[in-house]
Amino acid sequence: MSARWRIIDTGALDPFANMALDEALLRGYERYNSPPTLRIYGWKYPSLTFGFSQDPARDLDIEFCRKRSMPFVRRITGGGIILHASELTYSLVCSKEDLGIPSRVVSSYKIICSFLISFYKELGIEAEFACDDPEHKTSGELSALCFAAKEKYDIVSNGRKIGGNAQKRSRGVIFQHGSIPFRFETETASSFLRSKAPDTGEYEATCLEDILGQYVSAPELSRTFIKAFEGSFNVETEALRLSEAEEAIYRDLKALKYESVDWNYNRVDITEHKDRVEWKEVSCGLGGSIRR
């Protein structure tokens, strides 16, 4: 029998809400029996996210970000800076048993990302892992930008990186999120770097519109994305909402963590040991029901 997954399509939200919701799904799964979940979302307005270990004061031109009204937020995953705008973004939360994948991070990351290759092929795009490309060379030096780096299991089309993905493990739970750009904006992520030197790697990335030569609607992409996920892992999906526990976690994370200077500048998470009374002994089943 196929495993059952919850699908949550939250539409376009602000960057703080997006990162808070991603982590709420992770905490819900590891603490409150939430089901394995695939979330699809977008961005209400252009926004920057940066990796867990990055220092925004070192890498970002903070004053220029403010001048351009460009918000930025720290992710719980690693990697570099991404300018999110016209894209399909996803996150998933599960155990290795939910997908029948190995425990090792690198192996599981490759297997999970393989469904993205199936997704691209459904769109008529030839895609492969960077390590399978005869022209592949790993990045010689670290870049502050996500799309300027090309690592072993990044996905490429005609040698150009398409999208970016990152994974985190917490208490044995797998969390992964990634972005698939429809098109690139005129103002690139490198515009907001503290160092204004051009980063040629950013221009070695590509997007759906460049490859397909036409616009593909977000609903059509979402349907194709879910179909590729279901087919790759032999799972069934059902569109459901957040549970009551996840909603409570989300609200706290957004207000106390992702909108805070402590988290975004100093990587201090004041919610890390938070255990509110209304969160206790709350769990949700696949249908989102609550048991107290």
Give the burial class of 55: count Cβ atoms within 10 A of its Cβ; 0-12 exposed, 13-18 middle, 19 or more buried. middle
CA 199, CA 289: separation in Å to the nearest integer?
A: 49
- Look at phi and psi of residue 86 and say left if phi exceeds 0, alpha if psi is from -120 to 50, else beta: beta
Give residue 183's region: left, alpha or beta (phi > 0; psi -120 to 50).
beta
Using a 10 angstrom Cβ sphere, with 0-12 exposed, 13-18 middle and 19 or more buried, the burial of residue 171 is exposed
- The 8-class DSSP code of residue 189 comes to G
Which residue spans within the chain are E strands per DSSP? 3-13, 37-43, 47-50, 72-74, 82-84, 87-94, 128-129, 155-157, 160-162, 164-170, 173-181, 205-206, 235-239, 283-284, 290-291
SS3 3: strand
CB atoms closer than 10 angstroms to residue 161? 21
Query: Which positions are catalytic?
Result: 146
Which of 160, 189, 157 minimizes the C-alpha distance to 85? 189
